[in-house]
Structure 1
């Protein structure tokens, strides 16, 4: 997948250099009223376990569901697969308009082993254990076994070939290794006990399999380290707000991020995880949570500030639910995760001539993280009944708006064939999942005229042959703000050259 790192360069055509070198807003742009972050937005926020809550009665806003899968549910032989169970789960979650975050495992304490039977029959060594209340139910395999390594190579390649870029899937975690697929086998980690983790060679091989198989869908792995830091993958902190923040202990999630040199990876690759289960019932209460672990954070906001997390598993919010006293803080915490887009101004000409018109939109990302997928923004015209009569998918990508940044977009919309009359101009970042929620903006005019769309303004399409009001139907104008003439002429020349080059120059880099 390609992820944009800069948006359009037409801001040269939309601003003029003011006295002293400052940049002044151009005339004709209409400010858009801000509002709070919407209750839910796609691919962010708190997430429940799929199938373990009642969608009919749950009232906590969400856009995703979490699902675990044992490898033996789909892998039937060295190169054969039955995707029936996996497909049914994706379809069920998608039927509610939600995307799936998922992980496959071989070893889940207290659950039957997820190791495919053909590997057991082939002589794979497995080790029983009693920790984590397992009592020998699940077993830990020899991850360096050649047959298992070959099977994992085959599985990850097949999973990616079939599902990379599938709009039903939001995030794929590189599980498979360790207890719960969390890439650890503590206390069997070589500290006075056998080390059950795979060799570094095997670990890197599996990670490279995921990178090769999923160039589009976001990948996450549990533990940041110098091995995975150079790879195009994100992370998941499954002990969020307990052992997250930088600490004197040296082993918290952010301690590992610092040691790996990965503290800025969030700008390109997503951070997810799980709000520590023991903290889920109490961390949003006035009394807070007891300290359940020496050096524990018990700090949701601080953990978010350091990690820039986009989503967290928090099943308590869905299965049990928060009290009326605690729910506002829990909702605010969910909304604070990930991106938050606010449109600050729009260019909508008062009068539109026949043939084409220019529409502009300025967007800020006031959230803690980017949006990690290249979803385009569409512009639509609504008639007097509120019906969409013209919709155009622009080349504006919402992923162009980095966290803490503002981008200005301009495009030309073909109005040929629109009957003369008044129209409302709206914008939307559509979800590629059929029935999935669109990205909503933190603006008062979001959903004001039609659900899922941001209202930008109104325009009158002139009758054929009628001339529009001067200065309203073309590109936004340069504003003379006291800059000397030579500066403005130089800027105008630059704009002309940009126009000859196609006006919009997108600067993108390959993520992977």
Structure 2
């Protein structure tokens, strides 16, 4: 944000475009205050007299806490979020937007400056927290939103959550402050069914959580339980920078990959509905029963396609059938059927295939947990065979 209502998106665009070039969606969060880094507060606000507070916690000597209740700051945040949504909402390149901007790392806390641990409470008022969240909801009608803490301020809003101390401060404890304590205490146990859950594997656990030896005790009430945390949160994605910056040993890497695969959705086709033969130029009914054995739904309405694969591996009658993969709830199954025209399809033997394409043109399609995945055509699930007479 270069001025009151001016923006330079080049840095963000470059990051988003680099990820998209690899066929990946971006998850993003913006911050004003990141311990140990230069301030993220727009310079025009600082020059305009915005009050800030220095602190030394988290080895910080450079960043500062802004007055989150400052009228000019709140107005600037409103305009920034609106501009961000206008630029990125619904874009195929974006997977998740986290409602940052507030608190250390944009994680919606200023601990220990919470009014109890220390007398100063530098968080915005409840009303101003709600104002920021409402701005995100207004700006993002399609892209999934997440915020750090499940609490009464956001409980009724269409916003998911991100647990950034995942597998350490996740499962409920008697002290009542872990992530799942907040989910349970606020009646949010089923919110994952409609809004996504993300997060970050706690950095101190990243190097050891997938090792048979496990991790040392970091906190008295610490979980050190990756699979248990996955099951309770229904988490769909998480950050794990150790996997990419350092990397795991061969055995630990296999366990880390298994851990990654345990997140989110897992679709399998349990039945296929199609004739074994048809007449050239006719239409046939094709269907599939799709089951989601994963711990969470797929949150975007990506639509399926059905096609025929000839003996040379070419796609014929490639048709969008409108089956929305988001309609298959976690732990449920759904039947889909549609008409497939054979107009222009020559006589011969074909395999009938199904795909749910990625919204990114170069992104990987959804893979099904079936042996028939990729057997007739890479990226497609084989449903059966058809002879066109």
1:328 Cα offset (Å): 1.9
Give, in whole Å, the separation in 2 of the partners of 1:193 and 1:114: 25
- Match of residue 358 from structure 2: 431
Work out the number of aligned pairs and report it.
387
Match of 2:121, SS? coil
Matched, 1:159 2:89: no
1:78 Cα offset (Å): 1.5
CA contact (8 A) 1:376 1:430 kept: yes
Give, in whole Å, the separation in 1 of the partners of 2:342 and 2:143: 36
Matched, 1:315 2:245: no
Give, in whole Å, the separation in 1 of the partners of 2:175 and 2:208: 24
CA contact (8 A) 1:175 1:221 kept: yes
- Match of residue 118 from structure 1: 44
> What are the Cα deviations for residues 244-296 of structure 1, in whole angstroms up to 9, with x where unaligned?
00111100000011111111100000000000010011111111111100100
Matched, 1:202 2:101: no
- Match of residue 34 from structure 1: none
Give 1:293-372 correspondences, 5 Å limit.
Answer: 293-353=219-279, 354-372=281-299
- Match of residue 445 from structure 1: 372
1:221 Cα offset (Å): 0.1
CA contact (8 A) 1:377 1:429 kept: yes
CA contact (8 A) 2:283 2:340 kept: yes
Matched, 1:150 2:72: no
- Match of residue 99 from structure 2: 174
CA contact (8 A) 2:33 2:106 kept: yes
Matched, 1:411 2:338: yes
Give, in whole Å, the separation in 2 of the partners of 1:461 and 1:437: 30
1:436 Cα offset (Å): 0.6
1:343 Cα offset (Å): 0.6
1:324 Cα offset (Å): 1.7
Matched, 1:219 2:145: yes
CA contact (8 A) 2:317 2:340 kept: no
Structure 1 residue runs of 4 or more that deviate by more than 2 Å after TM superposition: none
- Match of residue 186 from structure 1: 111
Q: Which runs of 5+ in 2 are unaligned?
A: none
| Equivalent residue in structure 2 for 1:399, among 319, 326, 335 | 326
CA contact (8 A) 2:317 2:341 kept: no
Specify the structure having the higher radius of gyration (Cα): 1
Give 1:248-263 correspondences, 5 Å limit.
Answer: 248-263=174-189
Match of 1:112, SS? coil
- Match of residue 276 from structure 1: 202
Match of 1:81, SS? coil
1:420 Cα offset (Å): 1.3
Match of 2:369, SS? coil
- Match of residue 63 from structure 1: none
Q: Which runs of 5+ in 1 are unaligned?
A: 1-74, 463-512
- Match of residue 489 from structure 1: none
1:319 Cα offset (Å): 1.4
Give, in whole Å, the separation in 2 of the partners of 1:226 and 1:430: 37
Give, in whole Å, the separation in 2 of the partners of 1:102 and 1:79: 21
> What are the Cα deviations for residues 13-56 of structure 1, in whole angstroms up to 9, with x where unaligned?
xxxxxxxxxxxxxxxxxxxxxxxxxxxxxxxxxxxxxxxxxxxx
Match of 1:101, SS? strand
What is the TM-score with the length of structure 2 in the denominator?
0.98
Please provide the CA RMSD for this pair.
Answer: 0.8
Give, in whole Å, the separation in 1 of the partners of 2:39 and 2:252: 38
1:380 Cα offset (Å): 0.9
Give 1:46-61 correspondences, 5 Å limit.
Answer: none
1:395 Cα offset (Å): 1.5
- Match of residue 51 from structure 1: none
- Match of residue 139 from structure 1: 64
Give, in whole Å, the separation in 2 of the partners of 1:404 and 1:228: 27
> What are the Cα deviations for residues 90-149 of structure 1, in whole angstroms up to 9, with x where unaligned?
1111111111011000000111001011101111001111110112x0011001100000
Give, in whole Å, the separation in 1 of the partners of 2:314 and 2:334: 29
- Match of residue 465 from structure 1: none
CA contact (8 A) 1:366 1:404 kept: yes
1:330 Cα offset (Å): 1.0
What is the TM-score with the length of structure 1 in the denominator?
0.75
> What are the Cα deviations for residues 395-436 of structure 1, in whole angstroms up to 9, with x where unaligned?
210001000001111111111111111111110000011211
Match of 2:238, SS? strand
Give, in whole Å, the separation in 2 of the partners of 1:199 and 1:436: 41
- Match of residue 2 from structure 2: 76
